[in-house]
Chain A
Amino acid sequence: MMPLMPPPPTRVPHAQLAWLEEQASRWHAEGVIDATTRTRILEQYDAESFEGRSLSALTIVAVLICAIGLLLLIGYNWHRLPASAKVAMIMAAVAAAFGGSAAAYGVGRRRLGETLAFAGTLIFGNAIWLIAQVLHISGRFPDGFLWFGIGALAVAALVRSRWVGTAAAVLVTVWVIAEGLEQEDPPLLFAAIWPATLALGYVLASPALVGVAAVALVPWVVIAGNGFDSIAGTGAMLLAGCALRSVASWHPERSPLARAWQVSGLLAQLVILIPLMIEEMHRDIAREAARFELLPAAVVAILAAAALASAYRARTLSQWTNVGVAAGTVAWILLAGGRLVTPLASTLLFSALALGVGVASIRTALGTGRTGDLVFGVLFTMAFLIVRWVSLVDDMLVSGLLLLATGAGLLFLSRLWRGRDRTRGRAA
């Protein structure tokens, strides 16, 4: 029977190997590991050779210089080239990137394969605009992002790349925003593309992809709700934030995917609550004629149902606060639609909701130890204080007292956070 060959040592930088040798010696001296184990650990690693690294660096520089030179030569002759030659070059660049990616995957170099697939996706996106320019195609600009996004989604699914998938989710979000700038009707294709993007996020188990894709819902509901300055549009955006957070409660508590939904929902709530704490915004909304329309009403109803359904699984203060924000928003939509609420009352309601989310997040952070909760808690509280302070900026006495109270609150919070670490340290 042939003896098994040991795997070749992993090459690491000199500094990293020196650190490992120092640590291994310390562990040996402290009796954590014996001499044999120390030797076996160190045999797994070897320093990268200086010659090899220099050669790699030189090769990369040479390839880069050649690539820049080639691009400059093409650029210099670009206007002299016939359109068909330009299109052929653009298509060849896309084919070369994906061909290189397939070749790299074929020889087992997954990272290089993924990098080339990512580069190919970017070249493909550039090709859409470049071909449109070369052939004078005057299409709708949101369609460019739509096809770029569809292509990127296909690439991500086929090469199973989280990086390309996250880029695709960004493109889907940009497409929805571009549609909102171009037309007043929400793009119905979103109903197919959004679930597909989210499904890809779950298949690839990518929190970044799911989080970015979740954000794409927000501009869509604003368009469907008749815009940012309408009761349905504003309410739908806040309810979308609540609904995204409520999706988190249907995941296991510490799941990274739950965190992605939570962060997206909090971001949406933060962005919309800041203007809703300003009385002028409510005066503008009140000036708009309130009328019943089926699509905005349906969007608001679905989002409200999704947000309020999380009450069924709410355990923490933060989750209950989210249910409270959803209930408060639904009440506001109904009252504002019936002209039964003044701009001042609306301002106070949303100020209270912002403060409530901030305090609940900080309280949750102190319990769970998650820095993200603390960051959002501070952001919501600071947003509340800054907006309220700006409205009082002429009154030096109240402004001064408010800022003193804020500073004292933050000091108290940092003391609580430090105390929490000490308690945990003792418990450990």
Chain B
Amino acid sequence: MSTWRGAAAAGVVCLAILTGMMVRHAWPLWTGTGVVLRAVPVDPRDLFRGEFVRLSTPANRLVVTSDAAEASRSDLLVVRPVGEWWEDWPGRTVSGTVYVQLEPDGSTGEYRPVTISRGRVSNAINLRGRIKPGDSPPALRVDYGLDAFYMEEGSARPVEQAIRDGRRVQMDVAVAADGRARIRTLIIDGTPLPRR
């Protein structure tokens, strides 16, 4: 390959990587299944990323157990492990990717985690997350990439105030078939915020 063609091909490779990055980000929003998750505010501002609301969901901290007695003692959300992978983990450091299977709660319409697995479970809504350090079995801290909702400059404050006033806040989330999820919008007291 002559070098001018090489330079042109190099540019194409770099642009393809950047395009792939954007498509990968947008894919869940284009193709994902919509679910509603309960949201909990964390911190209102990040100097490096402009204005946004930092959020958490009860699904970020889970207790993994099949033991009903242990489940009843926990303040955290309890999920059952799918498969035998969890049997090997107690007493060891846990890391890597997990999939949390969601089911709708009939009374609130919110989806809540019911089981957790190392791989995707067929015919279920699988929310993909990475185990974060900080907890030890049976508790798990999981990051789903749903920790921030970005807004137009100056518009995050009213939302933050609404959250502080104790109004009900939910996330409208798109979950793709591979488990990756993106926040579509926030829902405050049943009213969705206008999409960006």
Interface on A for B, CB 8 Å cutoff?
79, 87, 90-91, 94-95, 97-99, 101-106, 110, 113, 116-117, 120-121, 124, 127-128, 131-133, 135-140, 147, 150-151, 154-155, 158-160, 183-185
Are B3 and A150 in touch, CB under 8 angstroms? no
B10 neighbours in A (Cβ, 8 Å) = 98, 101, 117, 120, 154-155, 158-159
The residue among A87, A98, A147 with the most chain B CB atoms within 10 A of its own CB is A98
B106 neighbours in A (Cβ, 8 Å) = none
Are B7 and A98 in touch, CB under 8 angstroms? yes
Binding stretch for chain A, among B59-67, B75-83, B112-120, B146-154: B146-154
A-B pairs, 6 with minimum CB distance: A98-B11, A158-B6, A102-B7, A105-B4, A106-B4, A101-B7
Contact of A138 among B6, B17, B148 (CB under 8 A): B148
Interface on B for A, CB 8 Å cutoff?
1-15, 17-18, 21-22, 25, 48-50, 52, 93, 95-96, 130, 133, 145, 147-148, 150, 153
Additional A-B contact list (9), CB under 8 Å, known A98-B11, A158-B10: A102-B8, A105-B4, A120-B14, A131-B22, A138-B147, A151-B13, A158-B9, A158-B13, A159-B7
CA distance A128 to B9 in the complex (A): 18
Are B7 and A117 in touch, CB under 8 angstroms? yes
* Nearest CB of A to B153, in Å: 6
Beta-carbon nearest neighbor of B1 in chain A: A158
Beta-carbon nearest neighbor of A148 in chain B: B17
CA distance A127 to B1 in the complex (A): 27
The residue among A79, A105, A133, A150 with the most chain B CB atoms within 10 A of its own CB is A105
Contact of B153 among A79, A117, A137, A151 (CB under 8 A): A79
Contact of A124 among B4, B14, B48 (CB under 8 A): B14
CA distance A90 to B15 in the complex (A): 10
CA distance A113 to B2 in the complex (A): 12
The residue among A116, A132, A154 with the most chain B CB atoms within 10 A of its own CB is A154
Are A98 and B14 in touch, CB under 8 angstroms? yes
B133 neighbours in A (Cβ, 8 Å) = 184
Given that A102-B5, A103-B4, A136-B49 are known contacts, is A97 also in contact with B15, CB under 8 Å in the complex?
no
Can you list 21 A-B contacts (CB < 8 A)? A91-B15, A94-B14, A98-B8, A98-B14, A99-B11, A105-B6, A113-B7, A117-B10, A121-B14, A127-B14, A128-B18, A133-B50, A136-B150, A138-B148, A139-B145, A147-B21, A154-B10, A155-B13, A158-B6, A159-B10, A184-B133
A97 neighbours in B (Cβ, 8 Å) = 11
Contact of B4 among A79, A87, A94, A102 (CB under 8 A): A102
CA distance A144 to B157 in the complex (A): 30
A110 neighbours in B (Cβ, 8 Å) = 3
Are A94 and B13 in touch, CB under 8 angstroms? no
B96 neighbours in A (Cβ, 8 Å) = 183, 185
Contact of A137 among B6, B11, B21, B130 (CB under 8 A): B21
Beta-carbon nearest neighbor of B13 in chain A: A154
B147 neighbours in A (Cβ, 8 Å) = 138
* Nearest CB of B to A412, in Å: 51
Contact of A135 among B14, B22, B52, B153 (CB under 8 A): B22
Beta-carbon nearest neighbor of B150 in chain A: A136
CA distance A160 to B1 in the complex (A): 11
Are A159 and B6 in touch, CB under 8 angstroms? yes
Contact of B18 among A116, A124, A136 (CB under 8 A): A124
Contact of A155 among B14, B22, B52, B130 (CB under 8 A): B14
CA distance A97 to B15 in the complex (A): 11
CA distance A16 to B77 in the complex (A): 77
Are A94 and B148 in touch, CB under 8 angstroms? no
A183 neighbours in B (Cβ, 8 Å) = 95-96
Beta-carbon nearest neighbor of A132 in chain B: B21
A91 neighbours in B (Cβ, 8 Å) = 15, 18
B48 neighbours in A (Cβ, 8 Å) = 133
Are A185 and B95 in touch, CB under 8 angstroms? yes
* Nearest CB of A to B18, in Å: 6
CA distance A22 to B48 in the complex (A): 60
* Nearest CB of B to A112, in Å: 11
Contact of B11 among A94, A104, A140, A160 (CB under 8 A): A94
Beta-carbon nearest neighbor of B183 in chain A: A136
Are B14 and A136 in touch, CB under 8 angstroms? no
Are A159 and B22 in touch, CB under 8 angstroms? no
CA distance A137 to B20 in the complex (A): 13
Beta-carbon nearest neighbor of B2 in chain A: A105
Are A94 and B3 in touch, CB under 8 angstroms? no
Beta-carbon nearest neighbor of A138 in chain B: B145
* Nearest CB of A to B166, in Å: 27
* Nearest CB of B to A109, in Å: 10
Are A147 and B15 in touch, CB under 8 angstroms? no
Are B14 and A105 in touch, CB under 8 angstroms? no
